[in-house]
């Protein structure tokens, strides 16, 4: 899609290494990540490229969202934890998890990644666990 336009807006495609130079040469307001078939590690690397830029990061709906009717073709949305992890959110079983960590200190290492940040927030939010 690189070199084409969508609604009159130019589409740029580049590798992570070239992206910094491209951003410096353009007046970019938003970045839309439109990569439906990409692994979670590669997706996280793409997000990291833009994280420090302060740009708004958006994505296109997944196939599941389009087929189920929860999204329409042409819509964009904020990136979610589901996009990064590559699977749907799974709610914890408080009784199972609670038996392991209730009344104990829990260390979640590598809290800089989206998945571990999510777990740390979950632990803090659910103090009854």
pTM > 0.85: no
Task: Write down the CATH number for the domain with range 1-89.
Answer: 3.40.50.720
- The structural domains of the chain, with segments of one domain joined by +, span 1-89, 91-129
* Long-range pairs of 71-80 with CB within 8 A, sequence gap ≥ 24: 76/32, 79/33, 79/47
Segment 56-67 shows an average pLDDT of 81
Report the C-alpha gap between 13 and 32 in whole angstroms.
11
pLDDT in tens, 67-122: 888 888 888 888 877 777 666 666 777 777 777 777 777 777 764 566 667 777 77
Q: Among residues 86, 77, 126, which one has the least CA distance to residue 106?
A: 126
CB atoms closer than 10 angstroms to residue 74: 9
Phi-psi region of 7 (alpha: psi -120 to 50; beta: other; left: phi over 0): left
Positive/negative CA dihedral, 28, 30, 34, 35: positive
Model confidence band, residue 129 (pLDDT cutoffs 50, 70, 90): very low
The first and second tokens of residue 14, run together, are: 């580049």
């Amino acid at each position: 899609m690189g070199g084409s336009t969508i609604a009159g807006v130019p589409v740029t495609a580049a590798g992570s290494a070239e992206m910094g130079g491209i951003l410096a040469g353009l007046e970019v307001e938003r970045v839309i990540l439109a990569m439906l078939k990409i692994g979670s590690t590669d997706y996280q690397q793409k997000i990291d490229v833009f994280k420090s830029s302060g740009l708004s990061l958006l994505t296109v709906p997944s196939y599941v969202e389009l087929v189920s009717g929860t999204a329409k073709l042409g819509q964009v949305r904020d990136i979610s934890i589901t996009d990064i992890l590559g699977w749907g959110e799974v709610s914890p079983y408080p009784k199972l998890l609670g038996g392991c960590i209730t009344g104990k200190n829990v260390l979640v290492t590598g809290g800089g990644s989206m998945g571990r940040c999510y777990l740390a927030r979950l632990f803090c939010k659910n103090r009854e666990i």
